[in-house]
Structure 1
Amino acid sequence: MDTPKANTSSWNKINQWSEELILLKSILDKTELVETTKWGGTVYVLNGKNVVGIGGFKNYFTIWFFNGVFLKDKRKVLVNAQEGITKSLRQWRFSSKEEVNEKEVLNYIFEAIENEKQGKRSKPEKKEKIVSDFFNKELKQDIALAEAFQKFSPYKQHEFLEYIETAKREETKRSRIEKIKPMILKNIGLNDKYK
């Protein structure tokens, strides 16, 4: 008999974790969380707020906690997937179904749910305003570009400015400006292709 496939294809990168993800889903089905799809993968929410996600990668399958930084982690199993980048997300990684102890996993999930109900969440840090003299000159010379740039949210404006100003050489800054001008005029954000 065929095992049903987990509906997590894009977060199951090499499709070797179907049974394991079904196991995690069966555990999550015992909670009040609601399953949804976000960013092409399976996420569990409470009142519209992200609490848990699951997925499979090359060497492991995982359950991650969006505000895992607040979990007590008594078993010391949680890892920060991107140290220095990810502030609050934590993962619990497994390499086999045998490693998944339903009772322990549920304890972590119930704690995450309780934290969500209490409103515990990490606040994003305010990004320092970036000023780009090179780009400001460009905006002054091209009114259509300036008007198009103003239509972007402050966050997306920041992404463009950061992209320009992280270049060390003036020549690179200029080439980056030339690269993003058509995107801005077409109302395409710098990272829209990843969403």
Structure 2
Amino acid sequence: MSGPEARERIETFFAATNWRKELEALRAILLDCGLSEDFKWRSPCYTVNDGNVATLWGFKEDFALSFFKGVLLTDRNKMLVAPGDNSRSVRMARFVSLKEVVEREDALRSFILEAMENEKAGLKVDLGDGELDYPAELTAAFEADPKLQRAFEALTPGRRRGYLLTFLQARKPETRTARIEKHASRILEGKGLHDRP
């Protein structure tokens, strides 16, 4: 999203966060490095040549600068962390104070400039196969509804992985079945777990 609507949402984001001055300091660094500002995924997103480079997040306990292809960045001091156990590409720098942002500004600028160059060069993250095994309940659902299987297999790899992780996290077969049934209509619409309705 760009234009006046994006501007309004960006300003609303900064006004609503508990980390306003801290995130605005990160924003200033990103913009000073030459990135364009947009609004995607409920957060300010920073791009170069229309390619996603970084985004800002305000959490309850901390705030973060997240790099979409963070695994490609040179991180000798291990400043970047994966946002979750199943994150294969994104890496983020997490903070709890403005002082930390100021102290790490040189390193952040280095990450941002490297991420911009990677994006301009068209570098991609090699995610390997990364496919998870289908739970038996999903295979059964596919046998009962081949249209569901075709729709699932037509999803992007990331959307398939998101659903598979959700299904596989359930310990009980009946919970896995319930989750599959709950999300079947979204799968048939070609939508991922976090896509807007």
Asked if TM exceeds 0.5, the reply is yes
How many angstroms apart in 2 are the aligned matches of 1:97 and 1:165?
A: 39
The alpha-carbon deviation at position 18 of structure 1 amounts to 0.7
- Residue of structure 2 in register with 1:105 after alignment: 108
List gaps (5 residues or longer) in structure 2. 1-7
- Residue of structure 2 in register with 1:34 after alignment: 36
Residue correspondence of structure 1 range 10-89 to structure 2 within 5 A: 15-83=17-85, 85-89=86-90
Q: CA 1:158–1:89 in 2, change beyond 3 Å: closer, same or farther? A: closer
How many angstroms apart in 2 are the aligned matches of 1:76 and 1:44?
A: 22
Q: CA 1:149–1:192 in 2, change beyond 3 Å: closer, same or farther? A: farther
User: Does the 8 Å CA contact 1:33/1:44 hold for their aligned counterparts?
Assistant: yes
User: Are positions 1:135 and 2:141 aligned together?
Assistant: yes
How many angstroms apart in 2 are the aligned matches of 1:105 and 1:193?
A: 30
Matched residue SS, 2:45: strand
User: Does the 8 Å CA contact 2:65/2:92 hold for their aligned counterparts?
Assistant: yes
User: Are positions 1:95 and 2:96 aligned together?
Assistant: yes
What's the Cα RMSD here?
3.7
Encode CA deviations 1:152-184: one digit per residue, 9 max, x unaligned.
662279469846677666655655555455x26
Encode CA deviations 1:88-116: one digit per residue, 9 max, x unaligned.
21111121111223333212211211222
User: Are positions 1:122 and 2:116 aligned together?
Assistant: no
TM-score (norm 1): 0.70
Task: Please state which structure has a larger fraction of its residues in helix.
Answer: 2
- Residue of structure 1 in register with 2:10 after alignment: 7
TM-score (norm 2): 0.70
User: Does the 8 Å CA contact 1:27/1:106 hold for their aligned counterparts?
Assistant: yes
Q: CA 1:192–1:114 in 2, change beyond 3 Å: closer, same or farther? A: closer
Residue identity matched to 1:47: N
How many angstroms apart in 2 are the aligned matches of 1:185 and 1:78?
A: 33
Aligned length: 182
How many angstroms apart in 2 are the aligned matches of 1:185 and 1:111?
A: 36
Of 43-52 and 108-117, more deviation after overlay is shown by 108-117
List gaps (5 residues or longer) in structure 1. 140-145
How many angstroms apart in 2 are the aligned matches of 1:116 and 1:160?
A: 24
Encode CA deviations 1:24-59: one digit per residue, 9 max, x unaligned.
111111122111111110111111211111121112
